[in-house]
């Protein structure tokens, strides 16, 4: 019998009204209110009422996505037990919840991640761009010839890789990438050069936050963003979260690893269907089930 994995989406899947069905239930309203009261920003209004510009701010976006994803996973676990879990970028923090931390602590930690990344983003003149139609190995080679800091950071699917770094270097990389065969190089509307080495100051601040928490033993093995290897200890999980703040998201390798481990069915838990689209392009044989609402869980056979 095939194995099962839960995967959790990253930044960019958020929308105003996300989690409203969760908040309207007695089962989750209390937990959500506890999270809302614990944060120094008005996440409740940003999530449920907007405006979208506020929700797009990293320090709102990241905890909002992790809160919704984590609570959906908590409910899904009543019906389905995963053999493995994985998260795309901040989605790895959703993999923390119900695993080695409580939902509340996981979201509070995510808020700190979003704030530290936002702070660093405001201090460095960095950006990101999506490179379409060119294989990752060629992209990595081309970037070696570009001056300054520009790195391949999100290996999303075989023909879509995101680069990150200083604004001038990311922009300078566009022409040589197109010359090498890229169909398009699209600048992304982001507040910083996420996952690049420029984010190391945020990683160092996060390390202090990790040191202040007590992590439980891993219940569900995690496929790490930065290595696509299996993590089965909380200490290794914490080391991974530190590394991925300024390191790559090897999503292609992560999905291929799950396939090699015998996974035939993946539940995408959280807002949007971005990961389902990526997984289809990586390996179309894997079945993907989208869980975006409580109704999706209730409707499972």
Catalytic residues: 89, 195
Question: How far is Cα 96 from Cα 300, in angstroms, rounded to an integer?
Answer: 24
> What confidence tens digit (pLDDT) does each residue in 189-240 have?
888 999 999 999 999 999 999 999 999 999 999 999 999 999 999 999 999 9
Q: Looking at the structure, tell me whether residues 167 and 218 fall in a common domain.
A: no
Domain count, the chain: 2
157 close to 281: Cβ distance less than 8 angstroms = yes
Question: If you compute the radius of gyration of the chain from its CA atoms, what whole number of angstroms results?
Answer: 18
Q: Looking at the structure, tell me whether residues 45 and 155 fall in a common domain.
A: no
Q: Looking at the structure, tell me whether residues 163 and 224 fall in a common domain.
A: no
> Looking at 187, 207, 225, which one is the last position of a domain?
187
Confidence of residue 16 (pLDDT cuts 50, 70, 90): very high
> Looking at 167, 187, 207, which one is the last position of a domain?
187
Domain that holds residue 167: 125-187
Q: Identify the bridge partners of residue 158 per DSSP, sorted by sequence position.
A: none
> What confidence tens digit (pLDDT) does each residue in 138-189 have?
999 999 999 999 999 999 999 999 999 999 999 999 999 999 999 999 999 8
Q: Looking at the structure, tell me whether residues 103 and 220 fall in a common domain.
A: yes
Nearest Cα to 169, choosing from 190, 152, 191, 156? 152
């Amino acid at each position: 019998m095939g194995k099962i994995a839960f995967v959790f989406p990253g930044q960019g899947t958020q929308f105003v009204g996300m989690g409203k069905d969760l908040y309207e239930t007695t089962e989750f309203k209390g937990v959500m209110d506890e999270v809302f009261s614990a944060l120094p920003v008005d996440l409740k209004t940003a999530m449920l009422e907007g405006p979208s510009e506020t929700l797009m701010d990293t320090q709102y976006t990241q905890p909002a996505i992790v809160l919704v994803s984590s609570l959906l996973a908590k409910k899904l676990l009543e019906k389905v037990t995963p053999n493995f879990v994985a998260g795309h970028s901040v989605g790895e923090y959703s993999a923390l919840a119900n695993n080695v931390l409580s939902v509340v602590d996981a979201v509070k930690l995510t808020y700190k991640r979003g704030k530290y990344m936002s702070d660093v983003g405001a201090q460095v003149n960095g950006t990101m761009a999506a490179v379409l139609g060119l294989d990752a190995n060629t992209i990595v080679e081309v970037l070696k010839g570009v001056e300054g800091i520009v790195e391949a950071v999100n290996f999303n699917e075989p023909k879509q890789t995101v680069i990150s770094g200083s604004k001038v270097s990311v922009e300078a990389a566009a022409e040589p990438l197109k010359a090498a065969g890229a169909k398009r190089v699209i600048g992304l509307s982001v507040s910083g050069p996420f996952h690049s080495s420029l984010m190391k100051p945020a990683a160092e601040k996060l390390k202090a936050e990790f040191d202040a928490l007590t992590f439980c033993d891993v219940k569900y093995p995690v496929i790490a963003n930065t290595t696509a290897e299996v993590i089965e200890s909380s200490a290794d999980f914490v080391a991974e979260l530190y590394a991925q703040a300024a390191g790559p998201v090897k999503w292609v390798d992560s999905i291929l690893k799950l396939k090699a481990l015998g996974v035939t069915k993946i539940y995408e838990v959280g807002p949007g269907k971005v990961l389902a689209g990526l997984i289809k392009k990586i390996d179309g044989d894997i079945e993907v089930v989208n869980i975006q609402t409580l109704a999706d869980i209730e409707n499972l056979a």
